[in-house]
Structure 1
Amino acid sequence: MIQILSKEINGFLNSLIGYIVISVFLTGIGLLMWVFPETSVLEYGYADMETLFSLGPYVFMFLIPAITMRMFAEEKKAGTMELLLTKPLTDWQIILGKYLSGFILVVVALIPTLIYYFTIYQLGNPLGNVDTAGVIGSYIGLVALGAVFTSIGILSSLITTNQIVSFIIAVFLCFFIYTGFESLAAINVWSSSSLFIEQLGILYHYRAMSKGLIDTRNLIYFLSVLTFMLMLTKFILGSRRW
């Protein structure tokens, strides 16, 4: 698994697209937080990071599929998938190696945004007038969200040989599981089941964590979705139906 992990990370960092993806993410978030007047912290005058945590998931929907789209699709297109499967590695070692490499890259892209917290901390009036508990909860939620989106990206990459198709499928699935259930729950036909349907989506649990209250039920939800996606990936890889 370590070999797969190292290979994927090196392959990403040795390619131009790796730096472009991370740079676009940081530039986009920076512009949203500090430049664009509709979302700028400086325009609103509030010492918070709501812009990052409310818009970050939508940026993740494109960033993470761009990271994961090549992981299995490129192997199959290049004809190296069969060679990979003949190595003394279990299916889980292959999947987890690729998954962890994608997740690590997501965390690496997220770490520089901590500068925004320290900047807002200094800009607060009085100094440090920031909801630190809310920020910590939101970061945990964003990392958990990144973990789930990465598992969706890995699955999408496995079911196709085309990286662009993998990207599109992953973006759609990430968008649906994030906001789709809330939109379904808003349809006035479910009666008392609306709340249950809304709770099936990520947005409900992500909002709860953003308040700074780390409820184990929300963490269990993220872990359950992540586990389901990886098990589905394992099933497809094990059946060799790709």
Structure 2
Amino acid sequence: MGVSTSIAADEGTDAGIAVVTVTYPPVNALPVAGWYELARALREVGQDPRVRVVVLEAPGRGFNAGVDIKEIQRDPGPQSLIGANRGCAEAFAAVYECQVPVIAAVQGFCLGGGIGLVGNADAIVAADDAVFGLPELDRGALGAATHLARLVPPHLMRPLYYTGRTVSAAELHRFGTVWEVVPRERLTEAAMALARQIAAKDGYLLRLAKEAINGIDPVDVRRSYRYEQGFTFEANLAGASDAHREAFIATGGK
């Protein structure tokens, strides 16, 4: 359980590719420490001069189910909630600010915090069973509309956010925000194939390109997401969140 990293040898087919693997069974819902662990791993591989591209994967039933709501509810005070919000912000930023391109390899469900990760990635390769969504309102939270808005047009993002409905990988492929959709058994192969194409480029120029592309983004994603999180705190202070989280836990997380 946790986050592991592998970097291919300097020579060979996969040279320059780092794979960051997140494993938090049963559904890859990350505790506070997990978000910070992921952020550290991404920043470390991005700083490694051998690395030219990162593949972010999370094998299991789904890519990411967001924060560990049970951890938040076990804490009688606000520290776990604060930790989850700050940890998510750091992990999302670590994807975006990674010095080299990041490819997200997504299967199954990609929900809540998962949207923050893939919305900040440079490319998404998805299995044909992948679905993407923000059930935040049903969990007593707000956030990651910043990142969903990078995946779908504004007037689709809003009803998806308000209803908590999901959108399929095939639909995102039609919008051009998913690079490729493949059968689940081919997901790793497809993500690595794209990674090899990127890793074949000059590493110095790739790092310059990542910085330059981030620099022309119209939205400051870190600031935008932290703005959203302020409303999550307001919802908690108003007493509007606990009941939703308890209901989610009572239904077994469904």
TM-score (norm 2): 0.30
Structure ranking higher in helix proportion: 1
Larger Rg belongs to: 1
TM-score (norm 1): 0.31
